[in-house]
Amino acid sequence: MRVRSLLGIATLLLLLHQPMWLQAAETNCMQLTDPSQADECFSNMRRKWQEADAQRRAEAKRRAAANNQTNCMELSDGNQVPGCLWNNIQKLREENKRLRADVTGLRVENQSLQNEVTNLSRGDGHLRNDVKQLTQKINTVQATTDKLNTPAIRVCQRCGPKKYSCTRQEAAQKCDSMGMRLCTLGELGAYAEAGLMSCCWGWLGDPSSPFNRKRGVVAFIMGSSTTTGHSRGCDGDPGGLRIDYNRDHANKVAAHCCRK
């Protein structure tokens, strides 16, 4: 019984040095009435305390090793502890300086990367402009090619199965669908002088007058016997144009189309 009492007192002293949260979590061995249970309770408490103390020491040792420091609490000579702690503090200061330098270097590197991204964005903008200009040039060349591939003139174009099937508006749409436009009177006259013969009435782009937008001009190329070899142009007197300057837009004839 005396040994058991001494063990209980020793365990109680150990408990007094433990953290409050650990004491609160332990069973109150002093309240046990069974001596064997009390002994087992005290043994468990000692084992747990020893395990916790070993964990604290291991953690302190791990931290010291991670920071390249000496575990001052393991020194056998107490006079060496203050100097050991001071050395550890100096090492921590040096490590802090190194980390600050690393952070500064990372900031500089980050700024450099941001500058590179900005330069790449500007370069991308220049490249986009170059592509845009090149696309415009390609479109211009394509338009010129299409224009060169388009015949200079197409006369007597129909808007339906019949020879005369185009109103003034339909004639303009017919020419536009071929990438062309209605010829002017001057253009058609030049082609007539060059020997072109249409043998049909067709709409022209000229208005009848600036004051009447509902009437327009139609023309009929008779052909020329001196240039075509025909003795009679289009079953009539050869040469020149037949022109109607006052044709209603709703009237249906053909379309004379010229290159844009």
CATH number at 209 reads: 3.10.100.10
Domain membership of residue 131 (yes or no) is no
Confidence of residue 167 (pLDDT cuts 50, 70, 90): very high
Confidence of residue 179 (pLDDT cuts 50, 70, 90): confident
Domain membership of residue 35 (yes or no) is yes
Residue 163 and residue 68 share a domain: no
Looking at 45, 72, 99, the residue that finishes a domain is 72
Q: Give the whole-angstrom CA distance, residue 256 versus residue 29.
A: 119
**If you average pLDDT over residues 212-221, what whole number do you get?**
86
Structural domain containing residue 18: 2-72
Predicted confidence at residue 46, as pLDDT, reads 84
Domain membership of residue 83 (yes or no) is no
Predicted confidence at residue 130, as pLDDT, reads 78
56 compared with 225, residue with greater pLDDT = 56
223 compared with 242, residue with greater pLDDT = 242
35-79 pLDDT, tens digit per residue, is 888 788 888 888 888 888 888 777 767 766 666 666 776 777 777
Residue 158 and residue 65 share a domain: no
Looking at 32, 50, 72, the residue that finishes a domain is 72
Q: Which of 247, 157, 256, 154 is nearest to 205 (CA)?
A: 256
* pTM score over 0.85: no
Left (φ > 0), alpha (ψ -120 to 50) or beta: where does 199 sit? left
Predicted confidence at residue 17, as pLDDT, reads 46
Helix-strand-coil percent breakdown of the chain, rounded to 5?
60, 15, 25
Residue 253 and residue 158 share a domain: yes
Q: Give the whole-angstrom CA distance, residue 26 versus residue 44.
A: 10
Looking at 21, 44, 72, the residue that finishes a domain is 72
**If you average pLDDT over residues 203-222, what whole number do you get?**
84
Domain membership of residue 21 (yes or no) is yes
Domain membership of residue 148 (yes or no) is no
242-254 pLDDT, tens digit per residue, is 889 999 999 999 9
- The residues, any chain, with a CB within 8 Å of residue 196's CB and separated by 6 or more, are 153, 155, 221, 223
Q: How far apart are the first and last CA of the chain?
A: 124
Query: Total domain count for the chain?
Result: 2
pLDDT over threshold 90, residue 105: no
**If you average pLDDT over residues 176-200, what whole number do you get?**
85
Domain membership of residue 26 (yes or no) is yes
Domain membership of residue 118 (yes or no) is no
Give the least confident one: 12-16, 92-96, 158-162, 205-209. Answer: 12-16
Domain membership of residue 210 (yes or no) is yes
Q: Report whether 27 contacts 41 (CB < 8 A).
A: yes
DSSP state of 253: B
pLDDT over threshold 90, residue 195: no
